[in-house]
Amino acid sequence: MQRHFDPMGERSGPSLIKRAVALALSKRSTLLCAVVGTVALPVYAEDARNASGSLLQEVVVTARRREESMQKVPVAVSAVSGDLIEQVHVPSTNQLAQFVPNVVLDNIEAGTPSGGAFSIRGVSYQDVEKTFDPTVLVMVDGIVRGSGTGQTMSLLDVKSVEVLRGPQGTLFGKNAVGGIINITRRDPTVNTVFGAVAAGAGNYGENDVNGYLNLGGSTAAVKLTAARLASAISTVMLLEASSSRTMEIG
């Protein structure tokens, strides 16, 4: 008895229908598993996040002169807290470049005391002429420093530092082409007494000492800040006082 082989026999009739149905069921099962797995993953991640309790803290900035969440501010801004500055020991403003992208913070060594040659996004200013506006402004407690003199300053007793990259309007009292470095110092605190002292030494006879003392009563507080900057060329003594008072209404 001879058997004839039909090459189309296995591809036709009921066999083809059964294979098509099996393939469709297989794909449907795979798709269902994928959908279930995709829906379940965020639930597992949420459970793990709640169990660990390690949520990111909200960063509040004042890039538009009011307190806002950093994620909602439509401004290119980088924020450095005062606690971080103390932990990693950042002595002055020209050391902030390690925390902020697109920023170069250099010193002007001659011609002006504590002069800063600050650059943001390549826009820089390196001149000691005080009649020229610096491209990057430094603002301390809401007051803009109108020239490059004094831009390199101590960061002792600083609450926060915000670096706004890009051109800024007159929202802070003066416009800037490159950006603004907004420094906010801590206010005097009532009902407590505390202080800190920082000292440093360097080449050419440099030895600096600066510190502050907070004297707080029940309704008022005074903070005294002093600094001595000495080198082989000159010696500078600085003293500053700030105060605050609480009032009860009603």
Tally Cβ neighbours within 10 Å of residue 186: 14
The pTM of this model reads 0.67
Answer yes or no: is 147 within a domain: yes
Q: Give the pLDDT of residue 134.
A: 85
Answer yes or no: is 20 within a domain: yes
Q: Helices marked H in 53-107 — which ranges?
A: 82-88
**Mean pLDDT for each consecutive 10-residue tract of the chain (250 residues)?**
48 58 56 41 44 64 83 87 87 87 83 79 79 86 84 86 90 88 90 86 79 88 83 62 61
Q: Tell me the sheet residues that pair with 61.
A: 68
Q: Give the pLDDT of residue 37.
A: 40
Answer yes or no: is 4 within a domain: no
* Number of domains present in the structure of the chain: 3
Q: Give the pLDDT of residue 163.
A: 93
- Are 214 and 221 in contact by the 8 Å Cβ rule? The answer is yes
Instruction: State which residues form the domain around 33.
Output: 16-52
Q: Give the pLDDT of residue 75.
A: 85
In a shared domain, residues 199 and 152: no
- Which residues does 175 contact at the CB level (< 8 Å), separation at least 6? 167, 168, 169
What six digits make up the tokens of 40?
Answer: 């379940």
Q: Give the pLDDT of residue 201.
A: 80
Count how many residues are written for the chain: 250
Q: Give the pLDDT of residue 48.
A: 41
